[in-house]
Amino acid sequence: MTRRPYIVGNWKMYGTRAMLSEARAIDRAAQRHMKVEVALAPPYTLIHPIHREAEQIAVGAQDCHHQDGGAHTGDISAAMIADAGAKFVILGHSERRQDHGEGDALVRAKAEAALAAGLRIIMCCGESAGTRESGKAVEFVKQQLTASLPSAEAMPADIAERLTVAYEPIWAIGTGTAATTDDIGEMHACIRALLVDLFGEEQGRDVRIIYGGSVKPDNAAAIFAVPEVGGALVGGASLTADSFMGIALAASEPFEN
């Protein structure tokens, strides 16, 4: 199946209501780039305001709790973000793994909760600089992904619709230095093989694998030309409509062939 490229903005802990005008501009521009699926994951406080106004883009969250509810001060459940208008949630981002000590088992539990709430999930994986230097990046990512993803039995029937994998080498996030196209190509091919192993040929082939880590308008076209790259998870460059939609524009080109 040919999927539209998926370009997702992760606003991290940036954005007050003053940023709503930027979200509006992204939504308007997305209406002119229908060959690309554009989505935004703002902070929780902006999910509902953006969802209420957006005509084209999907809105998602950057995390959720693994339980439905309870005495968990400061946390938010998958059902709550869905109620606010979220259609997807980013899980296992390296900043959550580092800042909040989230391990693979917890990330998997969150994924199961999000799927049960009807959300799509973007499952992040990626190695540190040290792991890459030691030559163990592929092995590490395969292990991390296998342990973080729900088992095939726990997955809904429409796996390829509900799951996206984001390969985000930690050393490339927010540094201005993206991974090389060779490294991206090698890792995405390995992730594809793993997804086929885990979920079977039909579903595993169709799951989108997107790249994240210093994607900008000027390197996006080269990254999107790499086989098995189905889009991008974009941090810093998603904060303005101009740079984010520059990336979306680059995504529409290789897929027009």
212 binds ligand PEP (CB under 6 A): yes
Q: Which of 66, 93, 188, 228 is catalytic?
A: 93
Site residues for ligand PEP, 89-148, by CB under 6 A, read none
Q: How far apart are CA 137 and CA 156, in angstroms?
A: 29
Q: How far apart are CA 32 and CA 28, in angstroms?
A: 7
Q: Which is nearer to ligand PEP, 10 or 164 (CB)?
A: 10
Q: Which is nearer to ligand PEP, 101 or 135 (CB)?
A: 101
Give 3-state DSSP helix, strand, coil % of the chain, rounded to 5.
50, 15, 35
Show the tokens assigned to 204. 């595993």
Part in contact with ligand PEP (CB under 6 A); list of ranges 26-34, 64-72, 187-195, 207-215: 207-215
146, with CB counted inside 10 A (0-12, 13-18, 19+), is: middle
- Let me know if 93 is a catalytic residue: yes
Nearest position to ligand PEP, beta carbon? 235
Q: Which residues, including other chains, have CB under 8 Å from residue 179's CB and lie 6 or more apart?
A: 169, 172, 187, 211, 213
Pairing of strands 58-61, 231-234: unpaired
Minimum CB separation from ligand PEP for residue 229, in Å? 14
- Let me know if 168 is a catalytic residue: yes
Applying CB under 6 A, among 82, 84, 233, 247 the residue interacting with ligand PEP is 233
Show the tokens assigned to 178. 């993206």
Q: Which is nearer to ligand PEP, 199 or 244 (CB)?
A: 244
Site residues for ligand PEP, 172-201, by CB under 6 A, read 173-174
231 binds ligand PEP (CB under 6 A): no
Q: Per this entry, what is the length of the chain?
A: 257
214 binds ligand PEP (CB under 6 A): yes
Active site (catalytic) residues: 93, 168
